[in-house]
Amino acid sequence: MIATASRHYYETQLPLSEDPLLIAARLADSGLHESYVVYENGGSWSYAGGVRAELVLDRDGARLTQEGLPAAVLPWSDQPLRLVSRLLAQVEVPYWRAYGWAAFELSYAKGGDRGHLSEERLMHLVVPRAEVRFGEGHALLRAADQETLDALVDTVVAGPPARGGQPRPLDVYATDATRYRAAVQHAVDDINAGELHKVILSRVVEVPGETDLTATYVAGRRGNNPARSFMLNLGGTEAIGFSPEIVVQVSEDGKVISQPLAGTRALTSDILVNEKLRADLFGSPKEVYEHAISVKTGADELIDVCLEGSVEVPEFMAIRERGSVQHLASRVSGRLAAGREAWDAFGAVFPAVTASGVPKAAAYDSIRRYEPESRGLYSGAVLTVDHSGAMDAALVLRSAYRKDGRTWLRAGAGIVGHSTPEREFEETCEKLDSVARFLVPADDGTA
């Protein structure tokens, strides 16, 4: 569909000398847009504010709304991601990029089964009214009108500093230990009975009081080295996160990459301790097995959508340091087969095997049986998708969430037959500390 001239973006470019992290925080805190997404991808940052086009997927189907146009609605089908693709093809904004999130529960319904769905949204994407793409030394600013573009320039160049504040660490060892350990033991029993090979079980930690999410993001990003990071306030859901791995990345020319991380030890300030923990990680049959079956599953999933013979594992069992933990990490890649697109790759690997289990269907049953509440954004994805067909989807872990006045953290551990409840609980605490030690109370924020 040909885009109309009235839907173009006004654009300008600016040189930058400031830390992109602070610019991202200032844009999020500017009040220019109630809805926004900040996304960091390997040194490139984006701010997406406001809504020109919006796509929502839920148990009833998919709906696209655009400025000045009637809504386009597609009823639920047995291929819900195809609905998303068809509606995005109708976006009339030139050179659009959509930003948003997918809930973990989308995994239950990728094949059309709505039996385990609630009324909650499964996916929420927006094409923004205002966008800033920036990194070291340079920024591209785009907006639907000149007034908004001028406001973006003012905020980027001369706006007030982002709020700071003193983090108040949260003790994540003090809650939920008994329930979580019991859940792990149930899952181990199921695995040893042959029901499945691996499942990731998570636990929730409530954050008391009011939290300044922007200040927490700044403090946490300085204390973490994530694969991706994000802030968002979209559709009533707020979150910040320091994603340790991608779900999938698809380039314009069809190259596909996934990045399974599985196998964990703590990361401390003591180099010698870290080396000892790393040796223990490589020497643990439980951790190596957990990682190996995750990589195999990731490769098998890409085979279904990639050219025959193109799927490979160019990196196997490296170490990635992510904030308060270190992981075994591998990379799986391939090239999309003819007639396939980014949404096919996303559907093949979502949810990440490192946040669900093996086999996935059995893992879903275990997750629903032993976890205290639905996951929502946790272990889903925050993603960008372009008019060109490129996609980048980050796994939502190491995050803080806020909705309806409630703020919480959530983390899980990979359970296999050799797992022990005590160690798996400890692993969740190690992961939670990636965020919990950087929480900034709202009343500690300073202008």
The domain locations on the chain are 177-209+257-373+404-444
Banded pLDDT at 163 (limits 50, 70, 90): low
The residue type at 173: Y
290: three-class secondary structure by DSSP: helix
Banded pLDDT at 2 (limits 50, 70, 90): very low
User: If you average pLDDT over residues 1-14, what whole number do you get?
Assistant: 72
Catalytic center residues:
245
Predicted local confidence at residue 323, as pLDDT: 78
Predicted local confidence at residue 1, as pLDDT: 32
Banded pLDDT at 447 (limits 50, 70, 90): very low
Q: Which residues pair with 141 in a beta bridge?
A: 12, 132
Q: Which residues contact 417 (CB under 8 A, 6 or more apart)?
A: 188, 191, 192, 197
User: If you average pLDDT over residues 48-64, what whole number do you get?
Assistant: 98
Contact between 399 and 109 under an 8 Å Cβ cutoff? The reply is no
pLDDT tens for 257-295 read 999 888 889 889 899 999 999 999 999 998 899 899 899
Q: Which residues contact 124 (CB under 8 A, 6 or more apart)?
A: 54, 55, 56, 57, 100, 101, 234, 235, 237
Question: CATH number of the domain at 177-209+257-373+404-444, out of 3.40.50.80, 2.130.10.30, 3.60.120.10, 3.40.462.40?
Answer: 3.60.120.10
Tell me how far apart the alpha carbons of residues 75 and 348 are, in angstroms, rounded to a whole number: 22
Banded pLDDT at 5 (limits 50, 70, 90): very low
Tell me how far apart the alpha carbons of residues 264 and 276 are, in angstroms, rounded to a whole number: 13
What radius of gyration do the chain's Cα atoms show?
Answer: 21
